[in-house]
């Protein structure tokens, strides 16, 4: 394949998918930087790849290389293992349900604050990107540090600033040869460090108190045995550190740096998802009355108390479908499923006969799969209720049952927005509840004008770049 014939990587991927991927063959994605070629495997080989042990292919090593983990998150020691992911896999799903009431409260607070200037007597233009960047940090902070600090404006500003700095430093390092990264890395991440220190001014008292009490409790001190720590990421980090007897990790500075990857992932992914979702919804044909249909479902299941719970959130089948369909068309990256070959003998495919050496990068073109006409009817069209019809309740053994096979949190080889397999995003259940609450609040309390056309998404490399200037017209709904 002659890469010079194609203006960007997306076109190369699309060509490769048509020529090789759809025939079940792998192909090489050439990059402008000679040390960054990737092997793209077809959908038919995803299960085989995911079945490989972590000693052969590693998700963490691939993410570490892509994110420049040690530089971006300010600790090369933390880059040696996927501790942060293990924390989430261990505790996130287990405690997400207990966080729903607090999450509901913080979503309401964040939305009311961000849209406090909206009146019922006139339409007001709202920058959609700015809206989500003001709203999302509050529930994210609740997940990370609990309800006591999540409304702190300086903390949330520092979080947003850190994410922006992290993206810039990663971009710089991606164009820097490895031999120069030890020089450029510390310089490029000076803003990262500044914003981390600003975050620490707010969260450090919580971390120190939690470390002190939970350590004393683990040591058996009687006066601390009745203590029940709040369930948030700070608690989970300390709990796992204590369980694994990692004495060197019982340090407030190290715990604070453990928060940074979660801050980055939570803010970035949720803002992008919500931004694309609203543009998709508002670009549907007015005669389809999509917003009214969603409002009817929300009103039918919204608790009288105004505080959402698991049962009522799971009842929002059409809302869930609208989000999943938007994720299908707007992946966070064109190649979310990435692995690095770490086995000394490389990665061998027994049927196809090829072997990739250690250090090779293996990727899946998820955007191509999720827009494949052989998989989806009218794949380029946003159909908000595409999955809702598949989720219709059915009678099973005399009772009503709704299939979860096509919910937004269910991953498969044709829906890779949260990854797939044992390394699928462990925070996806929290995110799904959060997005449903956000959309429910917005549609229940505000009228929104439909768009004449959807703003275009551009690409930088393999990553879609949203239109951050897109605005919507909003008016408070009458009671």
What pLDDT score does 7 carry? 53
pLDDT value at position 33?
Answer: 55
CATH 1.10.760.10: does it fit domain 68-332+373-413+417-476?
no
Number of alpha carbons in the 13 Å side-chain half-sphere of residue 444: 18
For the four alpha carbons of 96, 85, 136 and 231, in that order, the dihedral sign comes to: positive
pLDDT tens, residue by residue, 141-166: 999 999 999 999 999 999 999 999 99
- 473: exposed, middle or buried (C-beta count within 10 Å: 0-12, 13-18, 19+)? middle
Q: Give the max Cα distance, the chain.
A: 72
> Is the Cα torsion angle 94, 97, 98, 103 positive or negative in sign?
positive
Cα–Cα distance between 375 and 328 in angstroms, integer?
Answer: 12
In 3D, which of 7, 263, 298, 57 has the Cα closest to residue 145? 263
Return d(Cα 336, Cα 415) in angstroms, integer.
Answer: 11
| 425 is known to lie in a ligand binding site | yes
- pLDDT on residue 97: 94
**Could you tell me the two tokens for 195?**
């914003």
If we measure between CA atoms, which residue out of 435, 101, 431 comes closest to residue 265?
Answer: 431
* Residues in the chain where the model's pLDDT stays below 50: 1-6, 34, 394-401
Q: Show the tokens assigned to 177.
A: 């040869």
What does the pLDDT read at residue 392? 61
pTM of the model: 0.93
d(CA 41, CA 52): 14
User: CA-CA distances (angstroms) from residue 291 to 2, 325, 385?
Assistant: 46, 15, 12
pLDDT score, position 403: 56
Ordered by start, the domain boundaries in the chain are 1-67+335-372, 68-332+373-413+417-476
SS3 category, 294: helix
Rounded-to-5 percentages of helix, strand, coil across the chain:
55, 10, 35
pLDDT recorded at residue 82: 87
Measured distance CA(258)–CA(275) in Å, rounded: 27
**How high is the pLDDT of residue 81?**
87
Helix (H, G, I), strand (E, B) or coil at 114: helix
CB 160 within 8 A of CB 118: no
């Amino acid at each position: 394949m002659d890469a010079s014939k194609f203006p960007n990587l997306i076109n190369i991927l699309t060509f490769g998918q048509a020529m090789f991927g759809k025939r079940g063959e792998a192909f090489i994605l050439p990059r402008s930087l000679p040390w960054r070629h990737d092997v793209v495997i077809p959908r038919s080989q995803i299960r085989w790849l995911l079945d490989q042990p972590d000693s052969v292919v590693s998700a963490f090593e691939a993410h570490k290389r892509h994110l420049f983990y040690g530089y971006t998150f300010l600790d090369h020691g933390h880059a040696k293992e996927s501790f942060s992911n293990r924390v989430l896999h261990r505790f996130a799903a287990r405690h997400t349900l207990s966080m729903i009431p607090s999450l509901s409260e913080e979503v309401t607070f964040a939305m009311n604050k961000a849209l406090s200037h909206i009146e019922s007597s006139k339409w007001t233009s709202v920058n959609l990107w700015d809206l989500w960047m003001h709203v999302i940090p509050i529930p994210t902070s609740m997940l990370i540090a609990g309800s006591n600090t999540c409304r702190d404006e300086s903390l949330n500003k520092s979080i947003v600033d850190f994410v922006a700095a992290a993206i810039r430093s990663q971009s710089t390092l991606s164009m820097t040869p490895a031999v120069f990264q030890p020089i450029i890395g510390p310089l490029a991440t000076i803003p990262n460090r500044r914003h981390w220190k600003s975050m620490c001014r707010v969260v450090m008292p919580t971390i120190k108190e939690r470390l002190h009490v939970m350590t004393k409790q683990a040591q058996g001190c009687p006066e601390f045995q009745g203590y029940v720590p709040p369930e948030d990421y700070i608690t989970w980090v300390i709990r796992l550190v204590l369980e694994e007897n990692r004495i060197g990790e019982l340090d407030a500075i190290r715990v604070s740096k453990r928060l940074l990857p979660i801050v980055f992932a939570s803010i970035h992914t949720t803002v992008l998802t919500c931004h694309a979702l609203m543009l998709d919804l508002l670009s549907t044909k007015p005669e389809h009355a999509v917003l009214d249909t969603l409002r009817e479902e929300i009103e039918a299941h919204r608790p009288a108390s105004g505080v959402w719970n698991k049962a009522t959130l799971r009842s929002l089948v059409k809302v869930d479908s609208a989000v999943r369909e938007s994720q299908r068309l707007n992946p966070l990256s064109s190649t979310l499923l990435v692995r690095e070959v770490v086995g000394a003998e490389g990665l061998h495919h027994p049927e196809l006969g090829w072997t990739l050496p250690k250090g090779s990068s293996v990727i899946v073109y998820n955007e191509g799969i999720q827009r494949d006409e052989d998989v989806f009817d009218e794949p380029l069209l946003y159909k908000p209720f595409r999955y809702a019809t598949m989720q219709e309740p059915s009678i099973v053994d005399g009772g009503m049952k709704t299939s979860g096979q096509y919910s937004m949190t269910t991953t498969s080889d044709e829906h890779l927005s949260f990854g797939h397999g044992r390394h699928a995003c462990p925070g996806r259940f929290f995110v799904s509840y959060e997005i449903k609450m956000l959309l429910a609040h917005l549609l229940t309390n505000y009228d929104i004008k439909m768009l004449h056309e959807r703003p275009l998404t551009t690409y930088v490399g393999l990553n879609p770049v949203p239109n951050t200037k897109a605005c919507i017209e909003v008016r408070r709904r009458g009671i």
